[in-house]
Structure 1
Amino acid sequence: MNPIRKSHEFHHCIRGPREDVGHPDPCEERAQGYHGSSRDDKEFRDFSQKGILSGDQSVNPLAHNWNRVMVRNCDGTLFLSDAELPVRGGRPLQLRGRRNAMLAIHQLLSSGLADASELLLGGCSAGAVAAPLLGDYVAQTVRRAAAQRGGNVFVAILSDSGFFVDWSSLSRAPPGVLSFPQLQWLFEVGNVSEALPEECLKAGESWRCMLLSSAVPYVKTPSFFLQSTVDSWQLRSLEPSSLEALQDQLRPALLRSLNAGRGRGHGGAVDHCVHHCEAWGEITWGSISNRDAFEGWYRKRLQQWHSSGFNASVFDTAGEHWPLLHLGRAGPSQCYPGQEEHLRWHQNLTLALEKCDMGRSWDIFVGNLLGKTLGDILDNNFSG
């Protein structure tokens, strides 16, 4: 066991439907459950098999003996919002994702983070969006605190499964592929612009700066991206036509973004396995796993930082040939050891979706229709 102990509680009461509409529903439903509060979280959770959070050296050679902290996502707004909405149902709606995230950072600074020599800000899914978007501000905050104590801290980002496709130029996403138009609504009402790269907003990208494909070229903190071109969280169907439609849109967007970010020190590993997060150390490019690729990239950025005299703007990946790529078309079978288990999970979820009201939210589908809470799903090594 390598448990991480529960510390502070976070509460939030906002949810948007899975697709087609984005708006706040009454707080009571989400605020009382796993997706709106950490109140009922277990006192300890075992992260021995949870990738970069693991304390097992065989799973996480780079950071197994680091201080490891998880800020769980229960805000429903990608950790980006900070706004008060009009009263609904007699209760005010508070969008506090960014405030929760930054309060966690300040709490950690008062608990020893200001003395750190290295900081890796990582995330999966919603966290994979938040880590790069908030990363520059977090890096500045931590470096400033370290400097006040006479120290220097190297900051890097690991983002796993955070690229979501923009289908807004089409009337709708292709059959079997999901879209997330609530991002535009969130930008308009959630006061998220302060969390987004300023240069991206100045370039006129507006709400699309919430999409990593638009934002990554403007992120200054060196970042490594793990991403499937057939991300299962963006698929309702595993039919070949759906896989191809998603891959044809996501792969070019990924490559454009990562190539534009090379001068910032960004790297990545792009696979065509059907998964969402998970699969740490299991997906390979020849003899190199996603874990190996990240660790190699990280050590080179750390070396550059030391060689430059702790200059946070000297990172460059010229000659390193990022990102790693899987060639050819995506296929759902035997891509990595956990592939078949994940496919069964996705098929069960699809069957549940077909039987239920499609207007209900994705988190309710995952939590209730499969008879599991998301905590159960995570604890049993399912992804999603």
Structure 2
Amino acid sequence: MNVNAVLVAITLALLTCGPRCIYSDDQRLLVNMTLVRNASALGAFCLDGSLPAYHLHRGFGGGARNWLLQFEGGGWCNSTKSCLDRANTRRGSTRYMSKWEVFSGILSNNASLNPDFYNWNRVKLRYCDGASFAGDAVYKNGTSLLYFRGQKIWEAIILDLLPKGLGQARKALLSGSSAGGLSSFLHCNNFTKYLPSTASVKCLSDAGFFLDERDISSNHTMRSFVKDVVSLHGVEKNLDENCTASYLNFPELCFFPQYAMKFITPPFFILNSAYDVYQFHHILVPPSADPQGHWNRCKLNPAACNPQQLNALQEFRRGMIVAVGLSYKYSRRGGFFINSCFAHGQSESQDTWFAADSPRVHNRTIAEAVGDWYFNRRATKEIDCPYPCVTTCHNLIP
């Protein structure tokens, strides 16, 4: 490449990035935070009353009118105490958040690291409400004030992005990881209402297919937890009406993807581990179900699990596969990639998204599978063989 060509390439990169992103010494893409200044007019606040925020890196070339929105994850709070504690951290306030975010994996702007979405407009929605961007309530007790305004935060960010080009999108992908992956299920239908009718709109959940399963003590620990979240945050009114009508006496079930999925109309892709580490540690074996710590060694290293524990893990995997299969029973446009890595969240890490040693199912990386599905290159409904047959998982229980 001659000197002029190099100068042109550098200039193009700088113009694309603009003043709101920088590159660190190791070439990571760092993108600056944008506060939603008019969010207060909509009543959109983080738990502590601070303004919501997002990070936007502009697309270029053929991707200039395509948009990828990524919900940040970070668990939930299900009581006033846990939410008050959360409000004093980066999970409940933009005051404590890093002002620069690393964009990697599905958010990377490097064609060799993110071949299908590198030149799209990529947005990371910061998570500060504690209920997967779905609540709408306020808590006051005379001394404490908490804003459960996740739904308003979602709306405020979208309204801020529409005049920045989202309103003219040709292609769009609503994505998220962990609690953010759950947000993709909860907001997929609503997302289409903001975009042109001609736009190709699809949704992706990474590590967000949280199961409604009994724990090892046969208790519905996760269901009880979710019920508290839905009640405290005022989530019920923002759940899909068709879903809640189907589960009239248990509307909180519509917070679980396995029940909400059949009411989602845009094409949807589920990326999940069959042995999702969060679900292993908090749904299958929550601390309350193992007070003596018999599962501690198994939790840290699957090779240390005894036959009974391995059997419980395999049953959990079967539950995941059955739930995903039922969700797609009537869907030809959907896709899934269920691998057997002991991991949680695989789309934002370059190692797991697209690298030489990334996890593969039938010799396809996650990035290739998602890209093939989004662009209709080939059907993508991949399920890995059960542990311990896998050879491409290089980070078990990271």
Same fold, judged at TM 0.5 (above): yes
- Contact 1:216/1:257 (<8 A) preserved: no
**Does the Cα contact within 8 Å between 1:124 and 1:160 map onto a contact in 2?**
yes
Whole-Å separation in 2 of the counterparts to 1:194 and 1:275: 33
Deviations 1:41-64 (A, max 9, x none): 3332221xx221111111211110
- Aligned AA (1:201): T
Q: Of the candidates 92, 97, 100, which is equivalent to residue 41 of structure 1?
A: 97
Distance 1:94 1:164 in 2: 25
Q: How does 1:9-88 map to 2 (within 5 A)?
A: 11-13=46-48, 22-25=78-81, 28-47=84-103, 50-85=104-139, 87-88=140-141
2:225 equivalent among 182, 193, 206: 182
Task: Determine the structure 1 residue equivalent to 2:17.
Answer: none
Secondary structure at 2:181's aligned position in 1?
helix
Aligned equivalent of 2:296 = none
Secondary structure in 1 aligned to 2:111? coil
Q: What does residue 353 of structure 1 align with? A: none
Cα distance 1:269–1:233, how it changes in 2: closer, same or farther (>3 A)? same
Whether the 8 Å contact between 1:258 and 1:266 is mirrored in structure 2 is: no
CA separation of 1:210 and 1:81: change in aligned 2, threshold 3 A: same
Task: State the match for 2:322 in structure 1.
Answer: 255
**Pair 250,140 (structure 1): closer, same or farther in 2 beyond 3 Å:** farther
Shift of 1:299: 0.7
Q: Rg: which structure is higher?
A: 2
CA distance in 2, matches of 1:191, 1:28: 16
CA separation of 1:254/1:195 partners in 2, compared to 1, >3 Å: closer, same or farther? Answer: farther
The structure-2 alpha-carbon separation of the partners of 1:231 and 1:332, relative to structure 1 and needing over 3 Å to count, comes to: farther
Q: Which among 337, 343, 347 is matched to residue 275 of structure 1?
A: 343
| Correspondence for 1:265 | 333
Structure 1 Cα separation of the partners of residues 176 and 152 of structure 2? 17
Residue by residue over 1:75-109, the C-alpha shift from the partner in whole angstroms, topping out at 9 and shown as x without a partner, is: 11111111123x23612322111111121111101
Match of 1:160 among 181, 184, 206: 206
2:254 to 209, 215, 240: 209
TM-score, normalised to structure 2, is 0.69
Q: Hey, what's the Cα distance between the residues in 2 that align with 1:258 and 1:268?
A: 9
Of the three residues 222, 230, 237, the one matched with 2:267 is 222
| CA–CA distance in structure 2, aligned partners of residues 260 and 26 of structure 1 | 32
- Secondary structure of the residue that 2:269 maps to in structure 1? strand
Conserved in 2, the CA contact under 8 Å of 1:179 and 1:234? no
Distance 1:162 1:27, change over 3 A: closer
How far is 1:3 from its partner?
Answer: 2.3
- The answer to whether the aligner puts 1:299 opposite 2:375 as a matched pair is yes
| Separation in 2, partners of 1:168, 1:285 | 28
Distance 2:82 2:387 in 1: 40
- 1:81-160 alignment to 2 at 5 Å? 81-85=135-139, 87-88=140-141, 90-143=143-196, 152-160=198-206
CA spacing shift, 1:287–1:129, aligned 2, 3 Å = same
The structural deviation recorded for 1:253 is 4.1
- Aligned in 2, Cα 1:96/1:80: closer, same or farther, shift over 3 Å? same
Contact (CA 8 Å) 1:244, 1:330: kept in 2 or not? Answer: no
> Does structure 2 retain, via aligned residues, the 8 Å contact 1:26–1:88?
no
Residue 46 of structure 2 aligns with an amino acid whose one-letter code is H
CA contact (8 A) 2:132 2:183 kept: yes
**1:120-154 Cα shifts (integer Å, max 9, x gaps):** 110000010011211101111223xxx6xxxx211
Shift of 1:325: 0.8
Structure 2 partner of 1:323? 381
The 3-state SS of whatever aligns with 2:80 is coil
1:112 Cα deviation from its structure 2 partner: 1.6
CA contact (8 A) 1:258 1:323 kept: no
CA distance 1:250–1:82, change in 2 (3 Å): farther
Q: How many residues are paired up? A: 305
- Do the aligned residues in 2 keep the contact of 1:226 with 1:270 (CA within 8 Å)? yes
**Displacement of 1:292:** 0.9
Instruction: Please list the CA deviations of residues 305-356 of structure 1 after superposition, one character each: whole Å capped at 9, or x if unmatched.
Output: xxxxxxxxxxxx9xx4x521112x323985423x15xx3x4xxxxxxxxxxx
Deviations 1:4-49 (A, max 9, x none): 22111662159xxx99x942117653222211112233332221xx
1:26 and 1:90, CA in 2 relative to 1: closer, same or farther beyond 3 A? farther
User: What is the DSSP-based 3-state SS (H/G/I as helix, E as strand, rest coil) of the residue aligned with 1:36?
Assistant: coil
CA distance in 2, matches of 1:190, 1:265: 33
CA RMSD, aligned part only? 2.9
Correspondence for 1:6: 33
Return the structure number with greater strand share.
Answer: 2
Q: Distance in 2 between matches of 1:264 and 1:62?
A: 22
Q: Are 1:22 and 1:181, in contact at CA under 8 Å, matched by a contact in 2?
A: no
* Structure 2 segments unaligned to the other structure (5+ residues): 1-27, 37-44, 50-74, 282-298, 347-351
Q: Tell which deviates more after alignment, 4-13 or 130-139.
A: 4-13
Q: Distance in 2 between matches of 1:26 and 1:271?
A: 33
Asked if the contact 1:200–1:214 (Cα under 8 Å) also holds between the matched residues in 2, the reply is yes
- Asked whether the equivalents of residues 163 and 254 of structure 1 are also in contact (C-alpha less than 8 Å), the reply is no
How far apart are residue 214 of structure 1 and its match?
1.2
